[in-house]
Structure 1
Amino acid sequence: MAYKLFFTFFILLILSPLQANSLILNECYEKNIYKGNILNDVKDYSGAVVFYKNAYQCAKERKQKISSLASLSAAEFSKGNKDLSKNYLLILLDLSPNNKWAEKFASDKNISLVESKADDELISENSGGIYFKRNKETALLDLPQSIYVKGVISKDMLINLKKTISSNNIKSAIVYFDSPGGDLLAGMGIGRLIRNYGFSTGISVNASVSEYRESSCFSACVLAYSGGVYRSLSSGGRVGVHRFSKELSSKNDLDLAQVVSAKIIKYLLDMGIDVQLFDRMSNTSKDSIDIISKKDASILKLVNSNGEQKSWTIESLKGKGILYLKGVQRTWRGVGKLLFTCDSKDLIYATAMYSKGNIIPSGEFILEIDNKKFDIDGEIMTDKDNYIVIFKPSIEQYKLISRGSKVSFSILALNPDFFYGFSLAVNKENSLVSDYMGRCIRLSDK
């Protein structure tokens, strides 16, 4: 044992810092490739793909990425997914042009390596202001694609956004806006389309088709932007509203204005936006723009990039009469839940749950209370939809939560660059949390 420790220390000592770091980081890649190969050997190709994807995420060197992509391509072909196999080969060839293995594999499996025009062409501005170019690597990692909406909001823009999503089979996306406004009804139509797909929204210029500058989302654009499940506002982005500009000259026009106003209010409520936003619209001349600060946008729930409203509730375990405290946060990555159960001296524990994703958990977990971190001793389990970690908090941790302002939980991945986690605000004046923590402390003290 001493010999092994000395040998490891000696190797790390003679390597340069960069080489030593690479040696340590490669463990993540090696573990995933190894597990993927085992599953591939027993023809569990779906399981192998999961580990090969993680190996790609862990890869720090070009040759490791190439090896991961080759394994992914072969496994997907074995699953019968010829198109996905081709996609991985094309990414591999971007990294390694004229790669002999890729060319031979494609030839043997009768895979055409010619990209279709649709795979590589940016949709033109003539398509109604919708800009989209598939990012192969983003698609590989199952991350959201980027769609850019630029120009005056119109019915044509709504139609072309629908076409872009359906023709490219986009499953997850962030839709970025840069628009002075336009058709109110089209704006709400775009927003509802985005919400139906579960996409998020932001405000940004597409750098590939326009020089960098501040980006804006005004008037009808704000309604379209409101459709995002999660809505972000960068430091260079601006949102602004004003009264819709239909001139009122008759009773019919007044009736129409009331109908449109009712539609806007209902839409804002459906999107989870505070209807005070409509008041700000109504109180601003059609010739002016009321720029909404990021702080006000958060208050109005127009911006919610850190997740939907967090909530704490006391609930009962069905049929058991056991009460537990549950905190929930929803983000664009998934749903996080933290449950505390303190029913008797023998039934004191906590459960952290998070929506399953593509990371491979390392078995390490962190509980953070107001920036104080604790390594958690717990076992991870899974059900159909969630990672589940059950652990027993200490009395110190219960006390910190009861008087704290924030509690977070993280599930670390084998790849040190990735983790899943969520944060829950603990209002110091929220007696629900502090009272239940007091119950846990009293039972733990017995």
Structure 2
Amino acid sequence: MRSIFVAVIFVLLMSSAVFAMDFDVKVPDGPLDSDSSILIEMRGEIRKGDAKQLRNILADFDHLTLKSMSFTLESPGGNLLEGVALGRVISARQEVTKASVGSQSNPTAICASACVFVYLGADFRHLRDGSRIGVHQFNDPDTSLGGAEAISLTQEISAELLSYIRDQGADPALFERMGRTDIEGIDWVPADILREWRVVTDDILKEVSIYSNVNGKLSLTLKQLSVNGENGISFSCLRDMIFSLAFFSKPDLIDIGSFQLLIDGTAHEISDFRVAKQKEQFTPIGFFVPMHLAGAVADAQSLGARITTPDGDTFFSFEQKIVDEKPLDLVKGCIPAFRNTTSKPTPEDVWQPMTSLPKVDFVGADLTKKGVRGVTFEECQELCTQYVECKAVSYIISKKWCWPKSLPQRKRHSSDVVSATKN
């Protein structure tokens, strides 16, 4: 990396020179192209003129198409409106922008007061463990005003700050918290609250939940825009089952090895899934939610999906928070076992076991030409419950080979087979 150090000098009206914010620009060695990223380290107090200086620095890269611009921040604050102006300079960039408070070399950095508005200018915002973000009340920038003029100016600044916070996708609760702490103090906001308010976004730019009515049944679509592109998952009712379609920003995979449904951070293996024809940049994967997981989906705090390569080393995943109880309404409206209940049924309420018949093999009446390989006996039964046409199964134990049946007809004895019929 080569470094460009820019010290911005601001001359006060009192004619004494002081140093304003420092900008240390780091660019990778070699030519810059669409895979290149640059880093700007920003340190010190924010003073009037800093936004213009940053704009001039970034203008040197306007003729290039860069992958991203990253900004690390270490500042106690300073001029509030200049902080907003700096944030708008960052927000106006065409590249993906990332901001971080704290770095490997400075893990206990702070970003307080006006610095927070610089930080909000980036698309993706990170807070390193040990670093802090703090807020407090803003003061009157023009102490010569009084009465109605001062009130009017304060209202204008408040409106500007609220508009900016909303424009950057953060919760206006941040502004309310600013008003609780006197100008002389700093309220160091806990990281979990900053994430809840979308001040700290980590790698997620935007999340959307869409509910719709399809043939009288509720459906849910979750969409997440992150550094990994747009990913999502939908849930709808089909034949008294929850059908789901997950879609991933087209990963550069030769083959998909396994697929998991993510519920509250736990990965659940889905053995029966179908990869649909790739459309545009997306890889769609369809599956029925297994009956024993329907209750967990209904009560989920977060839902998502994950795919891996055959070697199991590489995975692409996403998971999105659920902010209401609509999944419970969706499941209750779809699966008979959930209807007329006031709370989430247990897995036993939903999962109706089939009657097992050890050493029994049903001959003929196969629903598939090749059966289903590589599943457990429990998964074999579960697969049968998903289809009204399936009345029984025969399972070859040594080969983990499931044969769904349309009719439990002719029986024969086999020590390596266990069968089951629907109750």
Report TM bin, short chain.
0.5 to 0.7
Task: State how far apart, in whole Å, the 1-side matches of 2:72 and 2:251 are.
Answer: 24
Does 1:273 find its partner at 2:166?
no
Could you say which residue in structure 2 is the equivalent of 1:301? 198
- Give the drift of 1:386: 1.8
- Relative distance call for 1:165 and 1:363 in structure 2 (3 A) is farther
- Equivalent positions of 1:176-255 (< 5 A) are 176-196=72-92, 197=94, 198-205=96-103, 207=105, 212=106, 214-245=108-139, 246-251=141-146, 252-255=149-152
Q: Which runs of 5+ in 2 are unaligned?
A: 9-20, 338-385, 389-423
- Give the drift of 1:185: 2.6
- Give the drift of 1:225: 0.6
Greater percentage in strand: 2
- Relative distance call for 1:285 and 1:421 in structure 2 (3 A) is same
Q: What amino acid is aligned across from residue 220 of structure 2 in structure 1?
A: L
Of 180, 183, 188, the match for 1:291: 188
Could you say which residue in structure 2 is the equivalent of 1:54? none
Could you say which residue in structure 2 is the equivalent of 1:400? 296
- Give the drift of 1:339: 0.9
Q: What amino acid is aligned across from residue 388 of structure 1 in structure 2?
A: P
Q: What amino acid is aligned across from residue 132 of structure 2 in structure 1?
A: R
- Give the drift of 1:358: 4.9
Could you say which residue in structure 2 is the equivalent of 1:21? none
Cα-to-partner distance string for 1:409-446 (whole Å, 9 max, x where unaligned): 1122467543221113346xx44201222344349475
Check conservation: 2:217, 2:330, Cα contact below 8 A.
no
Of 226, 230, 249, the match for 1:331: 226
Q: What amino acid is aligned across from residue 166 of structure 2 in structure 1?
A: L
SS of 2:125's partner is coil
- Relative distance call for 1:314 and 1:307 in structure 2 (3 A) is same
Task: State how far apart, in whole Å, the 2-side matches of 1:133 and 1:308 are.
Answer: 25
Does 1:132 find its partner at 2:4?
no
Task: State how far apart, in whole Å, the 1-side matches of 2:119 and 2:71 are.
Answer: 8
Could you say which residue in structure 1 is the equivalent of 2:42? 149
Task: State how far apart, in whole Å, the 1-side matches of 2:313 and 2:28 are.
Answer: 20
Q: Give the CA RMSD over aligned residues.
A: 3.4
Q: What amino acid is aligned across from residue 331 of structure 1 in structure 2?
A: S
- Give the drift of 1:186: 2.8
- Relative distance call for 1:439 and 1:285 in structure 2 (3 A) is closer
- Give the drift of 1:267: 0.8
Task: State how far apart, in whole Å, the 1-side matches of 2:42 and 2:284 are.
Answer: 38
Cα-to-partner distance string for 1:344-374 (whole Å, 9 max, x where unaligned): 36x8631101223555553532223342421
SS of 1:397's partner is helix
SS of 1:250's partner is coil
- Relative distance call for 1:203 and 1:420 in structure 2 (3 A) is same
SS of 1:189's partner is helix
Cα-to-partner distance string for 1:87-126 (whole Å, 9 max, x where unaligned): xxxxxxxxxxxxxxxxxxxxxxxxxxxxxxxxx5211133
SS of 1:390's partner is strand
- Relative distance call for 1:123 and 1:192 in structure 2 (3 A) is same
Check conservation: 1:148, 1:206, Cα contact below 8 A.
no
Of 315, 320, 325, the match for 2:212: 315
Of 204, 215, 236, the match for 1:341: 236
TM score, norm. by length of structure 2: 0.64
Task: State how far apart, in whole Å, the 1-side matches of 2:128 and 2:230 are.
Answer: 23
Cα-to-partner distance string for 1:292-327 (whole Å, 9 max, x where unaligned): 12133234332222635655432257xx88863212
Task: State how far apart, in whole Å, the 1-side matches of 2:77 and 2:64 are.
Answer: 26
Task: State how far apart, in whole Å, the 1-side matches of 2:228 and 2:256 are.
Answer: 19
Does 1:171 find its partner at 2:52?
no
- Equivalent positions of 1:420-435 (< 5 A) are 420-426=316-322, 430-435=324-329
Could you say which residue in structure 2 is the equivalent of 1:382? 278
- Give the drift of 1:177: 1.2
- Relative distance call for 1:247 and 1:283 in structure 2 (3 A) is farther
Could you say which residue in structure 2 is the equivalent of 1:122? 3
Equivalenced residues, count: 317
Task: State how far apart, in whole Å, the 1-side matches of 2:60 and 2:314 are.
Answer: 30
Task: State how far apart, in whole Å, the 2-side matches of 1:203 and 1:335 are.
Answer: 26
Task: State how far apart, in whole Å, the 1-side matches of 2:320 and 2:36 are.
Answer: 24
Q: What amino acid is aligned across from residue 321 of structure 2 in structure 1?
A: A
For the pair shown, the structure with the greater C-alpha radius of gyration is 2
- Relative distance call for 1:301 and 1:229 in structure 2 (3 A) is same
- Give the drift of 1:341: 2.5
- Relative distance call for 1:438 and 1:254 in structure 2 (3 A) is closer
Check conservation: 1:248, 1:254, Cα contact below 8 A.
no
Task: State how far apart, in whole Å, the 2-side matches of 1:189 and 1:360 are.
Answer: 46
Task: State how far apart, in whole Å, the 2-side matches of 1:188 and 1:313 are.
Answer: 32
Could you say which residue in structure 2 is the equivalent of 1:103? none
Check conservation: 2:132, 2:189, Cα contact below 8 A.
yes
Q: Which runs of 5+ in 1 are unaligned?
A: 1-119
- Relative distance call for 1:323 and 1:436 in structure 2 (3 A) is closer
- Give the drift of 1:290: 2.0
SS of 1:149's partner is strand
Cα-to-partner distance string for 1:12-65 (whole Å, 9 max, x where unaligned): xxxxxxxxxxxxxxxxxxxxxxxxxxxxxxxxxxxxxxxxxxxxxxxxxxxxxx
Task: State how far apart, in whole Å, the 2-side matches of 1:202 and 1:253 are.
Answer: 35
Check conservation: 2:259, 2:305, Cα contact below 8 A.
yes
Does 1:159 find its partner at 2:55?
yes
